[in-house]
Amino acid sequence: MRRLHQDEFIAEIAKSLQEARNGRAFLSRFPCLWQKHFPFAPCLLYYKEAEGNIFRPYSADHQTNNLPIIREEANLIESFTCRSEFLLENNRTRIHFELFNRESDDLFKRKNFNLVIPLHACKYFRGLLLVSLKTNDAKIITGLTQATQIAAAMFIPLIEAEQMEFDNDKNYYRLFKFDRLVLLGQMAASLAHELRTPLTTILFEISSIKSRLPKKKEIGAAYEKINREIGRANQMIESLLVFAKFKELQIAPLLLSEFCKLTLQEIPAKKIPSGVRVSLQAEKEIQVVSDSNRLKQVFINVFFNALEALKDMENGEVLIRIFSKYDDLPKNIRHVISISDNGPGIPAAIKEKVLQPFFTTKKEGTGLGLYISYSIMKTLKGDLEIHSSGLGTTVNLILPAR
């Protein structure tokens, strides 16, 4: 491959990045440019989604319906997280490609991919380029790899900068909403105190009226309905009062894997549907300093939400992962309890509403569970993140290292 081809490829990469409306919009263009300049080497790009732990395919012909989406935990992804060198299939590496093939729905065998080039830039690992190469010429392989790495060094920082700006805007908006919700919570708590007395009076008077009326089926059914709805209103009031009542944090050292195991043991087995499998994975034993009771309240609420999403599934799975997350520098380490389900995910139309108070899709729900959970995580100097797609939902409970 002549040097001129690389220069033309990089020049067109730069031009396409300028013309694209944003960095992620460029991703679908990248395989097309590759095929244009290196037609002898068909390729497929996998790049990490902005939300969720998945890598999505981008193809030159844009036909990606029959291509698998690969999770971050897959060996194909984890093998290149810390590896910046390409991997070419040969007698020594064939076992790796056989493993990748099994994990990716025979993708490598179907497409004859025999070269994997990881996409690294500025300490970020964000994707893979899978190539079908019919030559072992070291110069050609080196040239393709160099061209790919130069291109990655151009578009990965751009995408990350745009994502960081978007996240900052989103966090600012969430903090703005949180301040308003704090005020709303204070008003609601005051109103809740005032509502409890008339609700109790109504319930007493309805019971008295029922005792004086003829015992008819219709009257009994109406009374039960009124009693149930008043009980539901009282439950909402209690939730608001518990949340609004200030209690000092009981801060103490906490081992996360031990905390998760003990909390899961407290959940009655009958609460977990027979078709659901619950598993716990921990990279290592991680210790934090937090309030175990408040963290347990959040954990159980999120866990039951995951079970609710799987109630009609035969092969449901809830995966609880404990790991540490770095933001470029070790001093910015955060510890995460990640609760994932393989349910249908949160519909796009309601994604932005799930943290709003009183918003619920459950018939008997109060709509305060996630709102209160998010607020508790903030009082613990942490955060609550929700990532959802058609493959399921992941809720990350983030705790500071200090």
> Do 261 and 159 fall within a single domain?
no
> Do 159 and 51 fall within a single domain?
yes
- Take residue 322 and report the two structure tokens written for it: 């404990």
> Do 31 and 139 fall within a single domain?
yes
The pLDDT of residue 58: 94
What phi and psi values does residue 153 have, to the nearest 5 degrees? Answer: -65, -15
> Do 146 and 256 fall within a single domain?
no
Cα-Cα-Cα-Cα dihedral sign, residues 177, 179, 185, 186: negative
The ranges of the chain with pLDDT < 50 are 1-4, 246, 329-330
Which of 150, 167, 184 is where one domain is finished? 167
Domain assignment present for 202: no
> Do 62 and 152 fall within a single domain?
yes
Cα-Cα-Cα-Cα dihedral sign, residues 87, 93, 95, 97: positive
- Take residue 26 and report the two structure tokens written for it: 């460029």
What phi and psi values does residue 324 have, to the nearest 5 degrees? Answer: -105, 145
Strand 276-282 vs strand 316-327: parallel, antiparallel, or unpaired?
parallel
Domain assignment present for 27: yes
The pLDDT of residue 220: 79
Domain assignment present for 381: yes
> Do 7 and 155 fall within a single domain?
yes
The pLDDT of residue 3: 45
Domain assignment present for 360: yes
> Do 257 and 366 fall within a single domain?
yes
> Do 258 and 146 fall within a single domain?
no
| pLDDT tens digit sequence for 21-43 | 888 889 999 999 999 999 888 99
> Do 147 and 261 fall within a single domain?
no
Q: In total, how many domains does the chain have?
A: 2
The pLDDT of residue 1: 43
> Do 19 and 121 fall within a single domain?
yes
292: domain CATH number is 3.30.565.10
Domain assignment present for 142: yes
Which of 152, 167, 182 is where one domain is finished? 167
The pLDDT of residue 201: 80
> Do 252 and 400 fall within a single domain?
yes
- What DSSP string runs through 55-68? EEEEETT---TTSP
Q: Which residues, 6+ apart, have CB-to-CB distance to 118 below 8 Å?
A: 80, 83, 84, 85, 86, 125, 127, 128
CB 348 within 8 A of CB 368: no
Which of 167, 195, 211 is where one domain is finished? 167
Nearest to 75 by CA among 98, 57, 92: 98
Domain assignment present for 68: yes
148: domain CATH number is 3.30.450.40
> Do 256 and 152 fall within a single domain?
no
Domain assignment present for 230: no
Domain assignment present for 229: no
The pLDDT of residue 190: 67
**Start-end of H helices in 38-125:** 75-78, 94-103, 107-111
Residue 152: domain span = 3-167
